[in-house]
Structure 1
């Protein structure tokens, strides 16, 4: 240290255990301002620069970008936000790696003759996967003029979130689901709107979906207890939602008609079948409740449970 108590750039670099090039880089970036200049124009640094340089190195070790480091140095309270941002970024990277690992195992562990098909299937999904196509499917599927709050509730319950640490079978299920919902639908083969939604004047879709949410909640304990689909308050609520949305009475004839109508739209059954493979933990999904109630209705009206059978729909 010279008589003025300042260090040259070389002295600062030596004390910090870094190269002169590193000190110059951070100085040029505005992170490490010099305290003064020598008569020859060389940078001179005070003892506080050593602590600042060590802080810069620590922050860079966490892979914070240089501009973010500058904000933290200028405002100590910015450190929490910066660290939280890095954690989110690293979490997304780890999720992507886990999906890649599961996808690789899916290809590696299958018979050689199936690998090309599996590669094409999983290649249609981003890593980590997005749910945009699933949301678009539901926005086409739901009836028009549905209040925004109802749409939001349906999307929250019907669109599965990809697991952070998926199994190979879950990668396959999500890829099949993504391909399935991305297919164009036609009025004859795979209608965008189910028969239960195609109603003219007097149809109140918000009443239907509010009632279905209540029916699903009533069915959940029955599903958790592993009880077979049966008559009761959950089924009555389910049917009442459809009847009230159409301004009609819940009669035996209406139940038979509703059973046939719901069976005529196999596309949603295939969707629930695939989402069930993704949601192996937690409370019953909307799809599980819908299937249970469909079975209960079919059993009551025909004596045969049909909705819980293997999903009817084009294989993905």
Structure 2
């Protein structure tokens, strides 16, 4: 250290255990301000530069980008935000790696004749995957002009989230689900359930408001492995259709509803793949709908007998 109490760039580098090039790099980017310049124009640093340089190295060891390091140095309260952002980024990277690992395992363990098809399916999905294509499918499937809150509630129930640590089978299920919704799926008016059609007399927003709670009741029955039966869930299901159609819940209405639902187009393949992705502990809305339909059919058949 010179008589003025300042260090040269080489002295600072030696005390910190880094190269002169490293000190110059951080100085040039404004992270390590110099205290003065020598008569020859060389950089001079005060003793506090050593602590600042060590802090910079600690932050960089966590792989923080240089701009984030600058934010932390300028504002002490910025560290919490930077850490939170880095944790999100690391989580996303880990999710991508887990997805890739499961996808590679799927390709490794399949029969050679299946490999090309599975590679095509997997290649169409990002890692980690997102559910934008699934959400678009449901926006096409749902009746037009539903309130945003109703659409949001339906998407929450109908769009399965990819697991954070997927198995190879779940990777395949999601890839097939993505291919299904990205293809030429049923989505025209002729392929819609009767309750979606403008001339059907239904108020779809009322129907879907009621179905959300109804599916939750049926899902509880499914998790308990109870067979379809009469009760609160079925009554809530029928009431949702009756209220949406502006009519009363009567035995005649239940018979008509049973016939209508039997004739509605189905997307069983979607729900099958969604179930493979979510697992048995999380019944899909499709499984809940099928349970309720079966309960209604049983009741109608019993009354007819």
Q: Which residue of 2 aligns with 1:248?
A: 247
Q: Which residue of 2 aligns with 1:40?
A: 40
Give the conservation status (yes or no) of the 8 Å contact 1:141–1:194.
Answer: no
Q: Please state which structure has a larger fraction of its residues in helix.
A: 2
Q: Which residue of 1 aligns with 2:130?
A: 130
SS in 1 for 2:76: coil
If the length of structure 1 is used for normalisation, what is the TM-score? Answer: 0.90
Structure 1: give runs of 5+ residues left out of the alignment. Answer: 304-316
Give the conservation status (yes or no) of the 8 Å contact 1:106–1:169.
Answer: yes
Q: Which residue of 2 aligns with 1:310?
A: none
Q: Which residue of 1 aligns with 2:2?
A: 2
Deviates further, 290-299 or 123-132? 290-299
Structure 2: give runs of 5+ residues left out of the alignment. Answer: none
Give the conservation status (yes or no) of the 8 Å contact 1:185–1:191.
Answer: no
Q: Distance in 1 between matches of 2:266 and 2:108?
A: 31
Q: Which residue of 2 aligns with 1:180?
A: 180
Deviates further, 217-226 or 86-95? 217-226
SS in 2 for 1:200: helix
Q: How many angstroms does 1:278 deviate by?
A: 1.2
Give the conservation status (yes or no) of the 8 Å contact 1:36–1:45.
Answer: yes
Q: Distance in 2 between matches of 1:176 and 1:191?
A: 25
The 1:131–1:57 alpha-carbon spacing in structure 2 relative to 1, beyond 3 Å, is same
Deviates further, 134-143 or 7-16? 134-143
SS in 1 for 2:195: coil
The 1:239–1:282 alpha-carbon spacing in structure 2 relative to 1, beyond 3 Å, is same
The 1:10–1:211 alpha-carbon spacing in structure 2 relative to 1, beyond 3 Å, is same
Superposition map of 1:143-292 within 5 A = 143-185=143-185, 193-200=192-199, 202-280=201-279, 282-292=281-291
Cα displacement string for residues 225-246 of structure 1 (whole angstroms, at most 9, x for unaligned residues): 2110111121111012112111
Cα displacement string for residues 265-310 of structure 1 (whole angstroms, at most 9, x for unaligned residues): 444322221111111265533233222112212333347xxxxxxx
Cα displacement string for residues 74-109 of structure 1 (whole angstroms, at most 9, x for unaligned residues): 001101111111111111011011111111111111
Q: Distance in 1 between matches of 2:58 and 2:187?
A: 61
Q: How many angstroms does 1:144 deviate by?
A: 1.6
The 1:109–1:161 alpha-carbon spacing in structure 2 relative to 1, beyond 3 Å, is same
Q: How many angstroms does 1:64 deviate by?
A: 0.9
Q: Distance in 2 between matches of 1:250 and 1:181?
A: 35
Q: Which residue of 2 aligns with 1:139?
A: 139
Q: Which residue of 2 aligns with 1:31?
A: 31
Q: Which residue of 2 aligns with 1:309?
A: none
Q: Distance in 2 between matches of 1:258 and 1:72?
A: 63
Q: Which residue of 2 aligns with 1:73?
A: 73
Q: Which residue of 1 aligns with 2:85?
A: 85
The 1:254–1:186 alpha-carbon spacing in structure 2 relative to 1, beyond 3 Å, is same
Q: How many angstroms does 1:214 deviate by?
A: 2.1
Q: Paired residues, what number?
A: 302
SS in 1 for 2:63: coil
- RMSD over aligned CA atoms reads 1.9
SS in 2 for 1:125: coil
Q: How many angstroms does 1:202 deviate by?
A: 4.4
Q: Distance in 2 between matches of 1:49 and 1:186?
A: 66
Q: Distance in 2 between matches of 1:36 and 1:192?
A: 77
* Corresponding position: 1:94 with 2:97: no
Q: Distance in 2 between matches of 1:3 and 1:201?
A: 92
Q: Distance in 1 between matches of 2:235 and 2:287?
A: 17
Q: Which residue of 2 aligns with 1:106?
A: 106
